[in-house]
Structure 1
Amino acid sequence: MDNSPTQLDYYHDMWNLQSTATLVSHFKGDDGRHVLILDRTIFYPQGGGQPADTGFVYIHDLDVKFLVHDVRSKDGIVLHYGVFEGFGEEFETILKKGKEVSLFVDEHRRKLNSRLHSAGHLLDICMEKIGLGHLEPGKAYHFSDGPWVEYKGVIPPNEMQNKQKELELEANALITMGGKVSADILPYDEAAMLCGGILPDYVSKESTPRIVRIGDNPGCPCGGTHVLNISDITKVKVSQIRSKKGLTKVYYNIES
């Protein structure tokens, strides 16, 4: 297997849903699923609290579709898991390195995942605006079956209900105003300036982090996909806030 890292085209253009690439290798995983490795991809691999893209890869000279069911990343190499449409095992012998392919990401799934992910970042911004900026961001889960964002620190029980209402109102006010969403790969010092002067400890000072900005608000390092404009999130519903054992979880969803 080629050990060269996969070029992540979605890093530079989060809204491109069709592209071309070259096949690097094909094999079967330990679970029996077929795996394609390409030199570049617009498919987002699951990670950072965001689910993977789905869609298909079209192999030109063979007139064959590879249905992408899951995408994962390992050591910088993106693995596209799926099945060949209408072909049996004998197909493996004619699939060779260097074949040109076209990639098609499922638009509905990408947009839903991007809205959910962007809404999570928007809530981070709004926590500061409603006076909860002392809570330190932790984990996040941007899947459609119960998305949430987590913070280190607690909210007193007598403030919980009011803060839930304030958070939802603030988020939807920003959505109504709208604003461009951008992602840029920057030198460390420049990235830190866009993120309020400091980056998390896990970001190496020798790196060039990818910084996502939601409107004119301070940015944050993030590798996921996002909406083009804040208004594309449409509407946020904060369903619940829970604080216990030193952590606060904000449960939310998006509405059309």
Structure 2
Amino acid sequence: MNPNLIPTTLKYYDDMLELQSTATILSSSMGEDGRHILVLDSTIFHPQGGGQPSDTGSISNPEFNFIVQDVRSKDKIVYHYGYFESSKDGALENNIEAGTQALLSVDGSRRRINSRLHSAGHLLDVCMKNVGLDHLEPTKGYHFPDGPYVEYKGAIPQDELKTKQNELEVEANNLIKKGGKVSVFILPYDKASELCGGSLPDYIPKDSTPRIVKLDDNPGCPCGGTHVSDISEISRLKVSQIRTKKGQTKVFYNVE
């Protein structure tokens, strides 16, 4: 990788509904797995992280069409992995010069389902408090379509699991039916902490400007993912199971 690359501007941070944009290619290289890698000055592609899978789509101009299969971020630089659809013997990608302009197109259907699943995970955090499980502390989420869940530190008595499962599903769908704006803010640490109910996780540096996602008038939380613009867009949430083991609770869910 080029050590002189500049941090990638994350355009989805400000507009999660933007599915096409233009950007400048900074480098083109071959990865260890045999796929090509493009780095640009800005991107609308969400890289895998925070329990959310990456976007897919294409990066193109009149000379080439690059199929984006995977997107990763490291040290504030976003790497787009894939292949050149019209490549021949590696000649095309090796001749792409830094400064080449390209059109970025995100797969809208994949973005929508990922955003719905990710937003539903945050909605469950709200619902946990509303059904009397506010003693449980969210620790991580897995918002992939093959089996989304949210994990919490703390336990629920075994004889209450089914009741709480039903209560969570009813509460979530009541909030979805009601709807409410999903807002994103990039704020100084103190302001962000205030918006999140008075505190932020320890991993967030105190001199940073965290990105906060807020569902309607509920307390916000730090998050770098993509989300729906209104809670109603989640459509319907199904809580399929709750498991408690060794002081950890997993809430499995899906959107319909």
TM (norm. structure 1) is 0.97
1:120 Cα deviation after fit: 0.2
The equivalent residue for 1:139 is: 140
The answer (yes or no) to whether the contact 2:5–2:26 under 8 Å persists in 1 is no
The answer (yes or no) to whether the contact 2:25–2:100 under 8 Å persists in 1 is yes
Q: CA RMSD in A?
A: 0.7
- Counterpart CA distance in 2 for 1:28 and 1:149 is 36
1:94 Cα deviation after fit: 2.1
The equivalent residue for 2:29 is: 27
Q: Deviations over 1:20-43 (max 9, x none)?
A: 100000000111100000000000
The equivalent residue for 2:82 is: 82
- Counterpart CA distance in 1 for 2:181 and 2:18 is 16
The equivalent residue for 2:51 is: 49
The equivalent residue for 1:65 is: 65
The answer (yes or no) to whether the contact 2:87–2:93 under 8 Å persists in 1 is no
Q: Give unpaired runs (5+ residues) of structure 1.
A: none
1:59 Cα deviation after fit: 2.3
- Counterpart CA distance in 2 for 1:130 and 1:247 is 18
The equivalent residue for 2:168 is: 167
The equivalent residue for 2:183 is: 182
1:107 Cα deviation after fit: 0.2
- Counterpart CA distance in 2 for 1:28 and 1:94 is 13
- Counterpart CA distance in 2 for 1:173 and 1:188 is 32
1:92 Cα deviation after fit: 2.7
Secondary structure (helix, strand or coil) at the match of 2:7 reads coil
1:17 Cα deviation after fit: 0.5
- Counterpart CA distance in 2 for 1:20 and 1:99 is 11
1:86 Cα deviation after fit: 2.1
Q: Does 1:117 align with 2:121?
A: no
1:56 Cα deviation after fit: 0.2
Give runs of ≥4 in structure 1 deviating > 3 Å: none
- Counterpart CA distance in 2 for 1:77 and 1:112 is 25
- Counterpart CA distance in 2 for 1:164 and 1:186 is 35
Paired AA for residue 109 in structure 1:
R
Number of matched pairs: 253
TM (norm. structure 2) is 0.97
- Counterpart CA distance in 2 for 1:213 and 1:43 is 21
The answer (yes or no) to whether the contact 2:28–2:37 under 8 Å persists in 1 is yes
1:93 Cα deviation after fit: 3.3
Paired AA for residue 12 in structure 1:
D
The equivalent residue for 2:129 is: 128
1:87 Cα deviation after fit: 1.5
- Counterpart CA distance in 2 for 1:162 and 1:23 is 53
Paired AA for residue 108 in structure 2:
E
1:90 Cα deviation after fit: 1.5
1:201 Cα deviation after fit: 0.7
The equivalent residue for 1:208 is: 209
The equivalent residue for 1:157 is: 158
The answer (yes or no) to whether the contact 2:23–2:103 under 8 Å persists in 1 is yes
The equivalent residue for 1:97 is: 98
The equivalent residue for 1:237 is: 238
Q: Deviations over 1:123-151 (max 9, x none)?
A: 00000000001101111100000100000
Q: Deviations over 1:170-214 (max 9, x none)?
A: 000000000000111001111111100111111111000000001
Q: Give unpaired runs (5+ residues) of structure 2.
A: none
The answer (yes or no) to whether the contact 2:29–2:94 under 8 Å persists in 1 is no
Q: Does 1:18 align with 2:7?
A: no
The equivalent residue for 1:221 is: 222
Secondary structure (helix, strand or coil) at the match of 1:48 reads coil
Secondary structure (helix, strand or coil) at the match of 2:39 reads strand
